[in-house]
Structure 1
């Protein structure tokens, strides 16, 4: 079993929900990322979603877009982010790591080279925001060759046909975007999201994670009631824009503890 499958099976047996944390690789400095990941795992994160810095992050709101700018300004590129996973794996062989980013840097490196390096570094899944399943066949073949999960997005606007298409092709987990907007938006309608998640889960056994707009214990708990995983990004990234890295790490870790405690109340 893959790390993702193992982790979700373990959590299901314990009747617990996964907490997935998004961290921008190299924000605000490359040396911050790996120690931050270890601290977040220790505080209760189940799956890491590592952002690949990109200059035109179209799905991201200002918090994560600015994090990408800081990471790029600090000299972090896609290969550096992969090496951060390799460094992380020296002390953690169990926590799944999913890369989240955009297609352009992957195409520049080349599908085969990118995936082979990702596998060597210990990556478990890849989510490319601007690569729809209809255009993902070539990458999908290579990812299957290296046993890396390809994760796709579904949204409030996804049709029944689109949902079926994605569940037929996705692996690892399905990422449900809980609102019509960008990351960090504050317009989450938990009741509507819950209905959509239940609809997706009715046609697949693949775990469903929900992200975008989740920033506190209440929203995490509401979504944890219906989803298999709660995905949080901007709430962890935001402190790095406002305070020194040491303080930002502390705030991010405290946020993990807050969300973990809320999700564990669902047990």
Structure 2
């Protein structure tokens, strides 16, 4: 188990776990993997997802409303790991659910349930000493967010402490689809390259094969979230996995 990109340009797919249900998220996850996703980000539903745009907010609210918990997401991770052993799995969460479980207990459980890494959106690198200690004790990869507004000293620290890959935010603001890729993304990746040879994945607003192809010119992977969550939201019940599989397959045309 590890976070690895199997092709020239990796694809990271984000799913809000439990939307529309845990069982359907499982089917969607397998469809995404089987059609080209290298890494899955399993989003833990949270009642106050401030970093996310309206699409992921709605998905999180629906899942929370159905009672989906961190424990459910851990169980889902284990099922996916058993079904697709080679896929990278990153648990994507806000800090609050993790703190409620306890950092030590969470990191142990994440490892036991097949996760390779964790991304906590509101865990800043400057305050991450205890988190990093428990992550490393359990052989988990901490993934940190790097923003275009981050000064070089902060980018250096993010590059040093991230494992698996570094998540480069393509623009300032919340998640969500966009018509064109921001120029900030390439500049940020170039700045990060000064401090690391680790893989850099670009996310926030990547929504089609053209965006993926553009990212492939300067980064190691593209992260697709809101576009897939929106597709799930708009799908007829029972068609979600097929539609996501076809969409991911289409994104792969941007990685040739």
Q: Which residue of 2 aligns with 1:63?
A: 55
Contact 2:31 2:244 in 1 (8 A): no
Q: Which residue of 2 aligns with 1:73?
A: 65
User: What is the number of equivalent residue pairs in this alignment?
Assistant: 256
**Residue aligning to 1:186:** 178
Tell me if the contact between 1:106 and 1:114 (Cα under 8 Å) persists in the aligned partners. Answer: yes
- 1:61-140 equivalences under 5 Å are 61-140=53-132
Instruction: Tell me which protein shows more helix as a share of its residues.
Output: 1
Q: Could you give the per-residue CA deviations for residues 77-98 of structure 1, whole angstroms, max 9, x where no partner exists?
A: 0010000011112221110100
Matching residue of 1:32: 24
Q: 1:176 pairs with 168, 178, 185, which one?
A: 168
Query: Structure 2 vs 1, CA of residues 137 and 245 (structure 1 numbering), >3 Å: closer, same or farther?
Result: farther
Contiguous gaps of at least 5 residues in structure 1: none
Judge conservation of contact 2:117–2:140 (CA < 8 Å) in 1.
yes
Cα distance in 1, alignment partners of residues 170 and 235 from structure 2:
29
Cα RMSD for the two superposed structures: 1.4
Kindly state the Cα deviation for residue 206 of structure 1 after the two structures are TM-superposed.
Answer: 1.0
Pairs within 5 Å for 1:221-236: 221-236=213-228
Give SS of 2:239's match: helix
User: Is residue 166 from structure 1 mapped to residue 158 from structure 2 by the alignment?
Assistant: yes
Q: Does 1:241 align with 2:233?
A: yes
Contact 2:15 2:43 in 1 (8 A): yes
The structural deviation recorded for 1:189 is 4.2
**Aligned-pair distance for 1:242?**
2.4
Q: 1:48 aligns with which of 14, 18, 40?
A: 40
Residues in 1 aligned to 2:95 and 2:174: alpha-carbon distance in whole angstroms: 18
Which shows bigger deviation, 239-248 or 198-207? 239-248
Q: Residue 199 of structure 1 aligns with which residue? A: 191
Determine if contact 2:20/2:62 at 8 Å carries over to the other structure.
yes
Which contiguous aligned blocks of 4+ residues in structure 1 show a shift greater than 4 angstroms? none
Aligned-pair distance for 1:144? 0.3
Report the alpha carbon displacement of residue 191 of structure 1 after superposing the two structures with TM.
3.1
Pair 240,189 (structure 1): closer, same or farther in 2 beyond 3 Å: closer
Compute the TM-score of the two structures, normalised by the length of structure 2. Answer: 0.96
Check conservation: 2:171, 2:184, Cα contact below 8 A: no
* CA deviation profile, 1:51-107 (whole Å, cap 9, x unmatched): 000001111000001110111122210010000011112221110100111000000
8 Å Cα contact 1:190-1:222 kept in structure 2: no
Q: Give 1:218's aligned residue.
A: 210
Q: Give 5+ residue unaligned stretches, structure 2.
A: none
Structure 1 equivalent of residue 2 of structure 2: 3
Q: Distance in 2 between matches of 1:137 and 1:75?
A: 31
